[in-house]
A and B are shown apart, each in its own frame.
Chain A
Amino acid sequence: MKKPIYLDNAATSHPKPEAVYRAVDDVLRKGASAGRGGHQQALSAARLVFETRELLAELFNAADSERFVFTANATTAINQALFGLLAAGDRVVTTSLEHNAVTRPLRALQDRGIEVVKVVADPVSGIVSADALKEACLAARTRLLLVNHCSNVYGAMQPVEGLGGWCHQHDILFMVDGSQSAGSFPIDFQTLAVDLFAAPGHKGLLGPQGTGFLYVAESLELTPLIYGGTGANSHSDLPPEELPERLECGTLNLPGLAGLKAAIEFIIDVGVMQIRQREIDLLKPLLRGLQQMAGVILYGPADPLLRGAAVSFTLRDYDPAEIGFILDQEENISVRVGLQCAPDAHRTIGTYPQGTIRVSPGYFTSETDIERFLQAIRRIAQRGDHDDSTTGVR
């Protein structure tokens, strides 16, 4: 069996920094629940959660760590933001690059009387124009502009800089889905002027699955998505008024947050700029290798500086699922094929419904991994024994 190569970091990063595994194990053995009780173990748990929030505020240069609400994933964070903010008659402008974590809640909200406008990205670069977003926002009274920071399908980084300030000048709220950017790109909430920012803890932030957060800017109040115990204010049948507890019901994922804390410490220690540079260093040979291969169509920006680490391509008339199957079964290489939960993004670049092969290196990927992947694709391209039907199954 060949050594396994994991190239699906856009789904979840793997491996994690060693300290993450140790932190999860350590907390699981200690017990107690944050905010539940005043005994020493519960206090330690509450301190750990607090310190994790403080680290997030440091990483993203947010003024107040209490505005970070922990969630199970980015999807829950996005749902909390959208269902907690929007009401019938509101208008939302978004892009054609969104993940179903955005598209589906917005679709459900349309049924409740919210208008949704999707601005289509350039089909070649996969980048949506800031001017087109502004124009769409000004076409009618708009409550929220929601932009995917970096495409989970083909890595295109969107021009979010400057949009926050512009939105505020026009009394529009600005939200960014940072699922593919948090931890991988330098992000400064004060410069970005975001009102809402959602991210998972287990992708670029290198923490465990089951973690995520929603950042809610000061002065913005959301209706809770979930109601229940918060460990405080127990005499009342109403949720507390204060963040983060107002939006954090039920027992928190303490082992996950312990892992996330260790992961953020790792990121701060290494430096986001260094992590980003590592990503670019891996993208260069990957993009070059694919571009030079006959029969490969590469999607999204060709320049590594304009993109994140999710790289999508198709190979001649191969069914992407077939490529993924061969890579897995014969090469022990993990990639993601198909629509990657973002059908609108595929419609934008013309790869709907068959989808693409998405390869996404991470901080711990090596140059050798990239070369072995490219060799595997070359071998597959030279075989010529595949099923030509894009819907066929070998």
Chain B
Amino acid sequence: MVDDGDCVAIFHSIHRVMKAEKVLKAEKLAVLLIPVPRQLSSDCGLAIRFPLSLRNKIVEVLTDVGLEGAEIWHKQDGTYSLIP
């Protein structure tokens, strides 16, 4: 579901995940809705997966629509680390 090198953005509500998906897809960014991996805890059962290369653009788009509170995790060597 999540490969090494991928990022996962998690949100605090399903509504916000849906909003994030809409705005990111409108920007034609390669994102996918996935269930939140068990290593991560979220108020919402859904997350958005994307490659690390898109991280800056995704943060920019999310910030523009008021979704700057999303946590973005990076998977490397099988473990997740929070990207500040």
Contacts and interface: CB of A to CB of B under 8 A. Distances in A.
Nearest to B34: A38
Given A38-B45, A43-B33, A240-B43, A232 B66 contact: no
A156 to B, nearest CB: 36
A244 interface: yes
A233 B43 CA distance: 4
A234 B45 CA distance: 9
B17 to A, nearest CB: 8
A50 interface: yes
A240 B17 CA distance: 15
Contact of A244 (B15, B21, B46): B15
Interface in B29-46: 33-35, 41-46
Main SS class of interface, B: mixed
Contacts of A64: 66
A231 interface: yes
A318 B36 CA distance: 66
Nearest to B44: A232
B57 interface: no
A240 B35 CA distance: 18
A131 interface: no
Contact of A232 (B13, B19, B22): B13
A53 interface: yes
A160 to B, nearest CB: 28
Nearest to B15: A66
Given A38-B35, A64-B66, A232 B43 contact: yes
Contacts of A233: 43-44
A93 B62 CA distance: 41
Contacts of A66: 13, 15-16, 19
B18 A50 contact: yes
A244 B17 CA distance: 12
Nearest to B47: A38
A372 interface: no
Given A38-B35, A43-B33, A64-B66, A242 B15 contact: yes
Interface string A231-249: 1111100001111110000
Given A43-B33, A242-B12, A242-B13, A231 B18 contact: no
Question: What 9 A-B pairs have minimum CB-CB distances, sorted nearest first?
Answer: A50-B18, A38-B35, A242-B13, A232-B44, A35-B14, A233-B43, A66-B15, A242-B12, A245-B13
Interface of B: 12-19, 21-22, 33-35, 41-46, 66
20 contacts: A37-B45, A38-B45, A43-B33, A43-B46, A47-B18, A49-B18, A50-B22, A53-B15, A54-B22, A64-B66, A65-B19, A66-B15, A232-B14, A232-B44, A232-B45, A233-B43, A234-B45, A240-B12, A245-B13, A245-B15
